[in-house]
Amino acid sequence: MNDIIEEIKILNVGKMEENVSLKKYTTYRAGGNARCIIYPRNVKCLADLLTFLRERRVPYKILGNGSNLLFSDKDYEGILVRLTELNKIKFIGKRKIRVGAGYSLIKLSLLAAKKGLTGLEFAAGIPGTVGGAIYMNAGAYKSDMGYVVDSVKVLTPDGKVVTLVNKEMQFHYRSSFLQAHPGYVCLEVLLHLKPGKKEAIEEVIRDRRNRRLESQPLEYPSAGSVFRNPPDNFAGKLIEDAGLKGMKKGGAMVSDKHANFIVNYKDATSNDIKYLIDYCHDQVLEKYGIDMKIEQEFVNWE
């Protein structure tokens, strides 16, 4: 790996960090160390880097804000690629926004509100990047990215930049084309919103923020909802009914405020967190016959 890193330095595609703790880069604040994180300066640098890594068969992972990931406690020996430099934003006319994949989703939703544009209020509490939100089709309050996306500019596995329209993105509940085609990378998004009253939009955001503070354990590191809600049911209720609310493993806990959150309340390891995720899943399956789908992605657990 040292030789690979030296070659990447010669490529000069962007800032590089070596031997860093993944606790700094995931919202669970857990995980081992990363051998190397690279921040490509632009799309060409990203394409050059990914071509280099694929040709040499070096494992890599595109990393946003780490808000839906659980890295293992082992060191990650591949290359992590963060797209925070792809963060340009442009308002087009009175309804559309062109924004880079590395832009903060919360920041975007608040900026849209200030501009009097409605449609992104649901995103004001989702701590990810725009690219991550497209990948997951992030959503809340009966809305998601699929409702506001016109098109997505992506980098293909063979290094081409193409634009996929909304229908081609195959947005469904917490899923998208990108999940089914992991070699594609979101670069930029064109959003369409609607004009609204700034004060009314900001009031909706404030009201929902207050509701989250009351109902979710935002005082602890977590990755948000652990499980997708099954049809006509709620994951949190199923976990609570199974008697698991407040259960602890090491420094991790099934939140006693909202059972569909697992929180790092005291220096939890990734193993602590994953144990509770698996245990909650298996107990609900055993008691109620419901196979809850896990929202988080497990990385480096092989």
* Alpha-carbon torsion (100, 175, 106, 148), positive or negative: positive
Last-in-domain residue among 201, 233, 248: 201
In CATH, what number is assigned to the domain containing residue 124? 3.30.465.10
Strands 76-82 and 60-63: parallel
Confidence (pTM): 0.91
Locate tokens 């929180």: which residue?
263
Are 171 and 251 in a shared domain?
no
Last-in-domain residue among 48, 82, 116: 82
Catalytic residue list contains 225: yes
In CATH, what number is assigned to the domain containing residue 49? 3.30.43.10
Are 67 and 149 in a shared domain?
no
Last-in-domain residue among 145, 169, 201: 201
What rounded mean pLDDT belongs to the chain? 96
Are 192 and 225 in a shared domain?
no
Catalytic residue list contains 174: yes
Q: Which of 65, 60, 72 is nearest to 31 (CA)?
A: 72
pLDDT beyond 90 at 281: yes
Q: Which of 95, 174, 208, 212 is catalytic?
A: 174
Are 13 and 49 in a shared domain?
yes
Q: Which of 67, 104, 222, 225 is catalytic?
A: 225
- Measure CA 288 to chain center: 29
Confidence (pLDDT) at 21: 96
pLDDT beyond 90 at 279: yes
> Does any domain span residue 206?
no
Summarised one tens digit per residue, pLDDT across range 35-48 is: 999 999 999 999 99
Count how many domains the chain has: 3
Whole-angstrom CA distances from 188 to 20, 100, 132, 152, 240 are 27, 4, 11, 6, 40
> Does any domain span residue 245?
yes
pLDDT beyond 90 at 2: no
The CA distance from 105 to 199, in Å, is 20
Summarised one tens digit per residue, pLDDT across range 179-201 is: 999 899 999 999 999 999 999 99
Question: In sequence order, which residues have a C-beta less than 8 Å from that of residue 86 and are 6 or more positions away?
Answer: 40, 42, 43, 46, 100, 101, 102, 103, 131, 187, 188
Are 39 and 75 in a shared domain?
yes
Summarised one tens digit per residue, pLDDT across range 96-116 is: 999 999 999 999 999 999 999
Are 78 and 93 in a shared domain?
no
> Does any domain span residue 210?
no
Domain that holds residue 255: 218-299
Are 63 and 104 in a shared domain?
no
Q: Which amino acid is at 41?
A: R
- End-to-end Cα separation, the chain, in angstroms: 19
Give me 287's structure tokens. Answer: 């008691």
